[in-house]
Amino acid sequence: MNKRMAFRLVLTGWLYLLTIGTSAQAQTSIVRMGAANTQLFDDGWLFSRFGLQADGSRREEPAHLEEEHLADGAWQQLNLPHDWAITGPFRIELDGNSGKLPWKGIGWYRKHFNIPAADAGKRIFVDFDGAMAYAKIWVNGQYVGTWPYGYNSFRMDITPYLHAGKENVIAVRLDTESWDSRWYPGAGIYRHVWLVKTNEVHVAHWGTYITTPTVTDKAAAVQVKVTVDNQGASPVKALVRTDVYELDIHNKPVKKITATSPTAITIAAGNNAITNATANVIAPKRWSIETPHRYLAQTIVSVNNKTVDTYNTAFGIRTIAFTPRDGFLLNGKRVAIKGVCNHHDLGALGAAINKSALTRQLKILSAMGCNAIRTSHNPPAPELLELADQLGFLVWDEAFDAWKHGKRKNDYNKLFPDWREKDLQALVHRDRNHPSVVIWSIGNEVMDQRDVAITKELADIVRKEDSTRPVSNAYNDPDGGRESGAAMALGLMGVNYFFSEQAKWDADPRYKDMPTMGSETSSCVSTRGEYFFDGDYKNWQVSSYDNAKPGWGCSPDEQFRTNAKYPHLLGEFVWTGFDYLGEPTPYNSDETNLLNFRNDPNKRAELEKALEALRKNNPPSRSSYFGIVDLCGFPKDRFYSYQAHWRPNLPMAHLFPHWNWPERIDSIVPVHVYTSGDEAELFLNGKSLGRKTKQPGVNFRLIWNDVKYTPGELKVVAYKDGKPWATDVIKTAGSAVKLSLQPESKSVVNDGEDLCYITLRVQDKDGIMVPRSHPLVTFSVEGPGEIVATDNGDPTSFVPFQSHDRPAFNGMAQVIVKAKKGAKGKLIVKAASEGLSPAAAIIEVR
């Protein structure tokens, strides 16, 4: 089996896992954990943009847009999640580091909604999963509250402002002009919003905390702490009980297995009380990466024998331990953390959350052997954690990119004085029941990383809310962080890039017992399908020979060597799994890059000069080159480097570059091979070019540096333990004659969210992809669906993601489609390009 087949097979397996039982079982699945009466509040919003506009002009923001009776009939109608900036246009004069997209502005959202008369006396909340940024909320013209940090989730109690039995209006003001970012943050209510209805006595927001203090193969003690609010005017006596069910991948409770005994509490008016009870699970099914079993804790609060609240919490039973010498232990077994850092955007979809896009990201990463995600550098969408729980990923859950001192003017430093505690508590309360979350991170390369007092204060806030996971901080000044003593306040040391003094710290009595990991590694840069023979950088692209990196980074191979040198390290989080919008290093003129050289004035001066030159040239680059896969999710060559290393038992070999070099006939074209085998033989047009052997721990790819280019067939046969293991073949393509479309799934669910990603390839007459072709392709659809976006992975493209016309980039492009809500039938997706035979793909809408 070759590696392309292996990639496909893994995807097919995942698809199977995700589709089994959806139709019949979905009705009883829990859509959203938390209060049982929680409804999606995404549809039917109105939007208007003020302040900075997409074209750079300004539109004055009138006063009192929150008013109940505002004439908002002409506002744009839309459904959430919504990212107001992803429609662009890309503008050359805007910052590359935040994607050259016009995300700064003031956005107002309004929604008219009815609250039935029968809801009088209920408590009604609106839960925002995230709104970028500086959210202020009004209901019926009255101010409800604010939550400025755009990445956190928050609840607004709108009960006092509502008219039961009548129409109500909620207004939300967002302001991204007051926010700065080192990457594309998106803009708007870019995550889901929920309407929650409870009685006056109910489980508090994120009011359950489930831990498993003892776990053996025979039994697990499940400790359930429940905070119950009494928002009524008189004290109540309540009974709190939690039933425990097995939970399937679709959030359907399968079987009740145990329960806590009921606990009686008295809750004063306007106050809360906490119950703490334990349930015993016999022969627990452990949550692990391979078998991510989950349970459901269903908490029932009753008053006078009447159920007043039902609250659902998914959790897992697993043990974790971080050891200084034996790495990370999950259920007592060592697991090397094979992680990637990812920013939150979903490429062509922008920051607007889409579960199907996120699921696809995780599937692609899993096929590579990745088992962990670092949510750089902010709280993720709740869907990420739910998917990580369901699919078996470990998560490094991160709070901030800045503390007291920002990297830019309007970073979190503006919020730090008043919000740090609230933001950290919100993160931990929301996420602490997820078995996937194994590490809390209070920061990334913050300016104050040597500050002992702040480090201790923030770590203590987290530990107070959850002491079952270590608190870490990602240091790009790990020596300073340790020398100052700040790192002593942590449970786990996070090292970004700078491992040169690691041996010294491993011997230091203060730190030798502190578990350590590569919280950020490599930062290799490349563009899919580009190969240069005289340097790594050209035309605002980066060669894909996987050696290019910024001054602080290293190739994947170099990092593997470092990891081998320090086998006690817990693992690594590669920067990054996916390309993302913004930060197009090495064509990024953002001065925050300099911060990586705070201890090296010479390197800093060198980089300063390079940045100055870059600024003069005004690079068109608007998205990153760091991804192991490109912005479309197409694997770059590096994908196979990690796959070879992280999935050593998967027979695979990957050859590169492509084999279309008419201008280099008889010139050298170096050939590289990633393989999970230990040696390999290369053949050009059937003739052996020799066999090469990997030296374990030393070289992680096989290189033939003396191959003279002749068109034809290049083939590699890899061996393991002397036996044939895997092959890969690439052939010189002829001229482009046709297009092909390959959907990643045969069907798409008509829920308005599910997406089908379709890969376009430009091919020669024999179906071989033409790797240097860039024809303009027009996509269209017939039937009950629409094109959501197109892309081609080119980090310099200014074609809007919503355009149906898109040039192929190095032989490939992508169209993303979705079905109309509730529709059925067949969706026909077409691609056409002048002079080439068109292609079509049929997708069933179900």
Q: Which residues bind to ligand GAL, rule: CB under 6 A?
A: 376-377, 444-445, 476, 496, 520, 523, 550, 553, 575, 583, 585, 596
**Rounded Cα gap, residues 630 and 636, in angstroms:** 7
Of the candidates 291, 290, 295, the residue with the CA atom closest to the CA atom of residue 317 = 295
User: Quick check: is 68 catalytic?
Assistant: no
Query: Which residue matches tokens 């902010």?
Result: 378
Q: In sequence order, what are the beta bridge partners of 253?
A: 247
Of the candidates 652, 662, 706, the residue with the CA atom closest to the CA atom of residue 684 = 706
Closer residue to ligand GAL, CB minimum distance, 591 or 679: 591
* From 520, 583, 744, 753, active-site residue: 520
Q: Does residue 323 have a cis bond before it (omega within 30 degrees)? A: no
* From 386, 445, 744, 753, active-site residue: 445
The helix/strand count (H/E) of the chain reads as 11, 49
Closest approach of ligand GAL to the CB of residue 516, in Å? 17
How far is the first Cα of the chain from the last one, in angstroms, to the nearest whole number? 33
SS3 578: strand
Residue 597 backbone dihedrals phi, psi, to 5 degrees: -120, 40
Q: CA distances (Å), 830 to each of 5, 9, 552, in order?
A: 25, 25, 44
Which residues, at least 6 apart from 16, have a Cβ–Cβ distance to it below 8 Å?
none
CA atoms within 13 A on the CB side of 473: 33
**Strand 492-496 versus strand 812-819 pairing type:** unpaired
Q: CA distances (Å), 196 to each of 122, 193, 271, in order?
A: 10, 10, 20
**Rounded Cα gap, residues 460 and 189, in angstroms:** 31
What strands lie across the sheet with 713-720, from one edge to the other? Answer: 687-693, 679-684, 713-720, 723-731
SS3 426: helix
SS3 230: strand
User: Quick check: is 679 catalytic?
Assistant: no
Which residues, at least 6 apart from 627, have a Cβ–Cβ distance to it below 8 Å?
576, 577, 578, 579, 580, 636
The residues that are catalytic are 445, 520
